[in-house]
Amino acid sequence: MENFPHVVSINMQPYGQNGAGSPATAFGPTITSFVQPEPVPAPRDFVLWSFFNAMFCNPLCLGFVALVFSIKSRDRKIARDPGAADSYGRTAKHLNIAACCLGIVGTIICIVLLVLYYNSLQAGSRR
């Protein structure tokens, strides 16, 4: 997996001849071009998102598990194993999504229950 450009030399003369019709020589016209491979995007590891979920939004310890997979993904990226890094990164992303969704739903349920509880207290004090 080399990222530097490769030099390609192409002799543009017909086989065995140069432009004048005589046999080809080593000094015929040559076109040199640089072929650069497509850059491979680095796999994402989602460490910051996982750290946020581990600190603030950690239902069922999903944020902590996502942080573990994010760190594994970063380690594999440093070890130049993009396949494993991508796999760990995707797992961390899915765990982060689950942790965020469960955290948001849990927070909304807690707010609704608190509002209902305070409304029932106020209704009981009016009697």
Instruction: Kindly state whether residues 79 and 104 are assigned to the same domain.
Output: yes
| Rounded CA separation 96/47 (Å) | 10
Instruction: Kindly state whether residues 114 and 73 are assigned to the same domain.
Output: yes
* Band of pLDDT at residue 57, cut at 50, 70 and 90: confident
Instruction: Kindly state whether residues 71 and 94 are assigned to the same domain.
Output: yes
Instruction: Kindly state whether residues 29 and 52 are assigned to the same domain.
Output: no
Residue 114 inside a domain? The answer is: yes
Instruction: Kindly state whether residues 69 and 121 are assigned to the same domain.
Output: yes
* Band of pLDDT at residue 60, cut at 50, 70 and 90: very high
Residue 1 inside a domain? The answer is: no
Instruction: Kindly state whether residues 62 and 120 are assigned to the same domain.
Output: yes
Instruction: Kindly state whether residues 79 and 122 are assigned to the same domain.
Output: yes
Range of the structural domain that residue 68 is part of: 47-126
Residue 54 inside a domain? The answer is: yes
Tell which residue, 100, 103, 55, 79, has the closest CA to residue 88: 79
Query: Averaged over 70-88, what is the pLDDT?
Result: 94
Q: Environment class of residue 68 by beta-carbon count within 10 Å: exposed (0-12), middle (13-18) or buried (19+)?
A: middle
Instruction: Kindly state whether residues 16 and 72 are assigned to the same domain.
Output: no
Digit-coded pLDDT (tens) for 86-105 = 999 999 999 999 999 999 99
Instruction: Kindly state whether residues 70 and 109 are assigned to the same domain.
Output: yes
Looking at the DSSP bridge assignments, the partners of residue 30 are: 11
Buried b (16+ CB within 10 A) or exposed e, 39-61: eeeebbbbbebbbbbbeebbbee
Taking the CA atoms of residue 11, residue 16, residue 21 and residue 25 in that order, the dihedral angle to the nearest 10 degrees is 60
Of the listed ranges 18-22, 60-64, 77-81, the one predicted with least confidence: 18-22
What is the total count of domains within the chain?
Answer: 2
